[in-house]
């Protein structure tokens, strides 16, 4: 009598969708599913291995013996092996032992669809089923307005393993502990969203999660899958959205992972010019293969569906778009039109975004994309890739380079700090100061600022004030909000002890106030992605290193005026042009003493004059604090 009972969750329709690359819920069919057949409890297994001549389930229930539980191959040329194994259930460890038709190759692979994995360095999959009861109904009903493109969007980027550690026991915080500490902190700091660097299971800590082997399993480093759901639930209950980093661009060569899965190039492209990433020593998905596209899109849908994610930040999009990405001449082959674009990857990204927004119109997909590829955040029906937002890497590079210069030299580089507005509305841009900017010898953001300690903190307040008043949504990597001095170390914890020192504590209070200013000022977010939301007053005063501009909301009374003094010189009676008469009230000044500044503020209401300036009919004289951003509002 066989130890495997013939059984299937697949219908003919499922198979047709899978073969055509149009099945976007494969996690409901593939993998290990606990079920009862004819009164017998057990687990149904299904795996895709078209080049196999035999596939067996091995695990702790059969002493890892490949002869005990051979699966049945389907008759429909789908390449799917499946079967029901009685008396195997939740908590059992397993892998697939695959005998290939190619050269007698035998592989032992973790389940690509496993819901839970062993704690690295162990590599087995774990049969799992949770019955978590969500309590975020209120958030799910209203999240459309929180995730909208005309809503405030201030993101706190977090690496869970190094945000904070349990010092006494020298270990990670668990999902449960993070549900208290992290959630309370993010709420107190007035962020609107958290972005987690990859939490899908990965074998190698120094990859920071970007080399994934368990695409459907939250990493076991911090607890069980339902405990991760609890963390997300707590964020939602506190009106905080969650974005997950997602990596469809490449995967590692680890023996138990997706690479050479059934003795053939199943998930990766067989041509190394398209299937191997030289920088990361990893494999690249074959976007032209229908079943692979279904796998990836199903994975994206899985995290939105099963884990209530509010968005996906898609990693390394530029590496997907171009065949010559990080390759020399002769290392890549042009597409059928002779171009460098990866047409299959482009088609995949369009299909991904169409399905995501069709199924979850109240979420966002965000592209980490660093090139001038057109239409990344334009709808597919308009010829775009269909992302909701795109990282503004040019702004990040120019801004950090500018602020690292001593103020005495800044007048020669005014164009560096104003240039971003020349293209700010070509995409729906997110302004990122991410983890990539505080590693590999780049220094922390605070560490790049010139001058003595006071000037460094003043420069940093000015940088962030400029960031929050610049069009676009915002993202900051953890530690930046209190002025982390050292570079990020994934093996340690943030330097929370710095908050014992006044400059860091006051700076943390500044960032909290900046988030609140942003959330409570519609002019800073309602028109973040269109020309209606921004107007220059002055961008060419390079001699004084001053910028002045207007931010506009959907109604005129929401308008605010912003000035940035990019030197340590106080400028009294600085004249700025204004569009209409009225009285200006300074509602925010980064030089306030409460934030660690010198306290040079505009304490009195400023009346405009009928005196043309900067091409505008009215003007006013304001005091510009040293290395400071000021925000003024017309009195109603």
CA dihedral sign of residues 353, 355, 357, 362: negative
CA atoms within 13 A on the CB side of 284: 27
Contact in structure between 34 and 86 (CB atoms under 8 Å): no
What tokens does 156 get? 């706190």
- Interhelix angle 393-403/453-469, nearest 10 degrees: 150
SS (H, E, C) 73-124: ECCCCCCEEEEEEECCCCCCEEEEEEEECCCCCEEEECCCCCCEECCCCCCC
- Using left for φ > 0, alpha for ψ between -120 and 50, and beta otherwise, residue 280 falls in alpha
Element (H, E) at 41: strand 40-48
Residue from 195, 351, 368, 369 carrying the catalytic annotation: 368
The yes-or-no answer on residue 452 being catalytic is no
Catalytic residue check, 157: no
Whole-number Å distance between alpha carbons of 498 and 270: 50
Q: Provide the 10 A C-beta neighbour count for residue 109.
A: 23
Strand-strand pairing, 560-565 and 52-59? unpaired
Q: What is the largest CA-CA distance in the chain?
A: 97
CA 430/CA 498 separation, integer angstroms? 29
**Residues 95 and 110: beta-carbon distance below 8 Å:** yes
| Active-site hit among 315, 427, 481, 526 | 315
Residue 222 in tokens: 């911090």
Computed from CA positions of residues 155, 427, 554, 357, in that sequence, does the dihedral angle turn out positive or negative? Answer: negative
Phi, psi (deg, nearest 5) at residue 541:
-85, 70
DSSP, residue by residue, 392-420? -HHHHHHHHHHHTS-GGGGGGGHHHHHGG
DSSP per residue over 263-292, as a string?
SS-SSB-SSHHHHEETTTTEE-B-TTSHHH
Active site residues: 315, 368
């Amino acid at each position: 009598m066989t130890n495997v009972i013939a059984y299937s969750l697949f219908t003919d329709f499922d198979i047709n969708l899978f073969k055509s690359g149009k099945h976007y819920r494969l996690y409901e069919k593939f993998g290990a599913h606990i079920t009862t057949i004819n009164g017998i409890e057990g687990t149904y297994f299904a795996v895709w291995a078209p080049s196999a001549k035999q596939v067996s389930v091995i695990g702790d229930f059969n002493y890892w013996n490949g002869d005990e539980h051979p699966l049945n191959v389907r008759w429909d040329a789908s390449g799917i092996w499946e079967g029901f194994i009685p008396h195997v259930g939740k908590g059992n460890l397993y892998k697939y032992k695959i005998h290939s038709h190619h050269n007698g190759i035998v592989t032992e692979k973790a389940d690509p669809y496993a819901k839970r994995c062993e704690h690295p360095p162990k590599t087995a999959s774990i049969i799992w089923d949770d019955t978590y009861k969500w309590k975020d109904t209120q958030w799910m009903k209203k999240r459309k307005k929180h995730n909208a493109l005309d809503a405030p969007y201030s993101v706190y980027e977090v690496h869970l393993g190094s945000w904070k550690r349990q010092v006494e026991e020298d270990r990670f915080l668990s999902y449960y502990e993070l549900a208290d500490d992290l959630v309370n902190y993010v709420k107190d700091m007035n962020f609107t969203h958290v972005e987690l660097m990859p939490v899908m299971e990965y074998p190698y800590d120094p990859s920071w999660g970007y080399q994934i082997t368990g695409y459907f399993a939250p990493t076991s480093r911090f607890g069980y899958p339902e405990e991760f759901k609890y963390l997300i639930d707590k964020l939602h209950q506190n009106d905080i959205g969650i974005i997950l980093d997602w990596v469809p661009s490449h995967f590692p060569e680890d023996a138990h992972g997706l690479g050479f899965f059934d003795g053939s190039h199943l998930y990766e492209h067989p041509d190394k010019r398209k299937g191997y990433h030289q920088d990361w020593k990893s494999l690249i998905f074959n976007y032209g293969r229908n079943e692979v596209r279904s796998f990836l899109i199903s994975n994206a849908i899985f995290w939105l569906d099963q884990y209530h994610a509010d968005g996906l930040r898609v990693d390394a999009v530029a590496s997907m778009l171009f065949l010559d990405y990080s390759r020399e001449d002769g290392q890549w082959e042009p597409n059928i039109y002779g171009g460098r674009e990866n047409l299959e990857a482009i088609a995949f990204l369009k299909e991904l975004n169409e399905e995501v927004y069709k199924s979850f119109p109240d979420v966002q997909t965000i592209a980490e994309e660093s090139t001038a590829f057109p239409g990344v955040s334009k709808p597919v029906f308009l010829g775009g890739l269909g992302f909701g937002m795109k990282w503004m890497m040019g702004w990040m590079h120019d801004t950090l380079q500018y602020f690292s210069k001593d103020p005495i030299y800044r007048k020669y580089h005014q164009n560096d700090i104003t240039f971003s507005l020349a293209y700010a509305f070509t995409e729906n841009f997110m302004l990122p100061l991410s983890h990539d900017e505080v590693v590999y010898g780049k220094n922390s953001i605070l560490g790049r600022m010139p001058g003595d300690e006071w000037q460094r903190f003043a420069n940093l307040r000015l940088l962030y004030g400029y960031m929050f008043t610049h069009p676009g949504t915002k993202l900051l990597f953890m530690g930046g909000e209190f002025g982390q001095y050292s570079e990020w170390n994934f093996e340690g914890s943030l330097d929370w002890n710095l908050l014992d020192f006044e400059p860091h504590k006051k700076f943390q209070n500044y960032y909290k106030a900046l988030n609140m200013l942003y959330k409570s000022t519609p002019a800073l977010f309602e028109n973040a992605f269109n020309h209606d939301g921004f107007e220059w007053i002055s961008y060419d005063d390079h001699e004084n290193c001053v910028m002045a501009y207007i931010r506009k909301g959907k109604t005129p009374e929401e308008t605010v005026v912003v000035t940035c003094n990019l030197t340590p010189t106080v400028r009294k009676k600085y004249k700025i042009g204004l569009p209409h008469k009225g009285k200006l009230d300074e509602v925010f000044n980064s030089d306030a003493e409460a934030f660690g500044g010198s306290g040079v503020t505009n304490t009195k209401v400023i009346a405009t004059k009928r005196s043309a300036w900067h091409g505008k009919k009215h003007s006013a004289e304001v005091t510009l604090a040293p290395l400071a951003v000021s925000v003024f509002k017309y009195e109603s």
